[in-house]
Amino acid sequence: MTKETPKQAPATPQAIRGTQDIFGPDAEAFAFVVETFERVRRLYRFRRAEMPVFEKTTVFSRSLGETTDVVSKEMYSFEDRGGESLTLRPEFTAGIARAYLTNGWQQHAPLKLATHGPLFRYERPQKGRYRQFHQIDAEILGAGEPQADVELLVMADQILKELGIADGVTLQLNTLGDASSREAWRAALVDYFRAHKAELSEDSQERLEKNPLRILDSKDPRDKVFTADAPMIDAFLSDEAQDFFGKVTAGLDAAGVAWTRAPTLVRGLDYYRHTAFEFVTDRLGAQGTVLGGGRYDGLIEALGGPHTPAVGWAAGIERLAMLVGDKGEAPLDIVIALESDALLEFAINRLTQLRRAGLSAEMVASGSPKKRFDKAGKMGALQLVSISERDGKAFVNIRGENRDAARTALINGILAP
Ligand code: ATP
Ligand code: MG
């Protein structure tokens, strides 16, 4: 086979590694996650916002921390035709913080925001881990009170419950303390891990001086043996930080949201302070974190803005959808079998009216007229309607169960010839 063979069809392009085309039950579960999120965020009065999928690279490098995995290894960065370095967003928060500053959204503070959409990370693709994935995301900007943390966590809990996946998912909660607590903890971690430096993974040896908290978040078994005995934040918490955390847990208890303390929980990004949390399951193998977030009081300052306390979370839609499983499609209310082509316009009119009345409806109007009734009968609709011609007029026959009298009257009224 030579390259020059003139009539050879070009090879079909393949999808990019780590991306997915989602269809069928998976797509239904995906939509169910987004719809549930949209419904619940309205109950909590979170406002929708849409941000661009790409930003200047500095938006992410400055806010996430240069030494984090996301910035150092996972970003899709490129130069555009104008020579500017841009990055496909690997997470929502930095772009939201940028938008908050550039649009003067401070005037709305405290601002409760919700969004969802695609994110991009150059990771090793596996089940539950993709290079393009999707998140639902909720943030409260300009709120320094622990009640904001509580509200976000209670909303997350309600979303998981309404998705029907709360069983087996636990809320793991930690505090990273305020700046001084965190600094003292950091110094203790450096001392502790330095004694084991040679046995740590290469990545963690590098993290040791720059970013020792990161070692606690490592998935490498060589690091994990040391995390259990590492110094805990509790010994370094200031009274203020302890009080803040106490108010968060008291609020969760008041709302009836179960949580467990996870003293080694740190988050993958550097901007967190005080509350940090993850909703975790053991039903998704290694990709067990479905939702994660925390307080990021220092982030907006890092982007050159005024001191602005804020807290938020994000959850992977694909991972949530995997837990949701097969929801099946919503039942079809009515199928029309059109048995006479002369009545096509009549049938189109009635089909449209049914749908405008809020009923799901399909029509079978192609193929052999004799077979249409059988074909329609196999579609599993609650009601099967045949439209045929008798004495030159439309004859409508309705079969199948109906749910209630008002509905029956509505359908009969619409379908009357
Ligand atoms: P992990 O520890 O699994 O890498 P992370 O800490 O990097 O997660 P976050 O940045 O906190 O994840 O993102 C929040 C959520 O987004 C995760 O809990 C997960 O549900 C989802 N998520 C993150 N990265 C991916 C990915 N590559 N593919 C699919 N979902 C992802
Ligand atoms: Mg990650």
Query: Contact at 8 Å (CB) between 150 and 28?
Result: no
| Dihedral sign, Cα of residue 227, residue 229, residue 230, residue 236 | positive
Q: What is the pLDDT of residues 315-342, one digit of tens each?
A: 999 999 999 999 878 889 999 999 999 9
Give 345's Cβ-side CA count (13 Å radius).
1
CA dihedral (24, 27, 29, 32) positive or negative: negative
Task: Tell me which of 89, 287, 311 to substitute to probe ligand 1's pocket, judged by most ligand atoms within 8 Å of the beta carbon.
Answer: 287
The verdict on the CB of residue 291 being under 6 Å from ligand 1 is yes
- What the block records as the tokens of 303 is 């982007």
Whether ligand 1 lies within 6 angstroms of the CB of 161 is answered as no
% of the chain at pLDDT higher than 90: 80
68 CA → ligand 2 middle, Å: 10
Instruction: Please work out whether the CB of residue 74 comes within 6 Å of at least one atom of ligand 1.
Output: no
Strand order in the sheet with 273-281: 47-48, 111-120, 132-141, 310-316, 289-295, 273-281, 169-175, 260-261
- Whole-prediction pTM: 0.92
At 83-100, the pLDDT tens digits run 999 999 999 999 999 999
Contact between 363 and 336 under an 8 Å Cβ cutoff? The reply is yes
CB 270 near ligand 1, within 6 Å: no
* Confidence at residue 72, expressed as pLDDT on a 0 to 100 scale: 86
pLDDT of residue 402: 74
Q: Is 293 in the pocket of ligand 1 (CB under 6 A)?
A: no
Q: DSSP characters for 74-87?
A: I-EEEE-TTS-EEE
Ligand index nearest the alpha carbon of residue 124: 1
Does the beta carbon of 292 sit less than 6 angstroms from any atom of ligand 1? Answer: yes
Letter string b/e over residues 282-307, b meaning 16 or more CB atoms within 10 A of that residue's CB: eebeebebbbbbbbbbbbbebbeeee
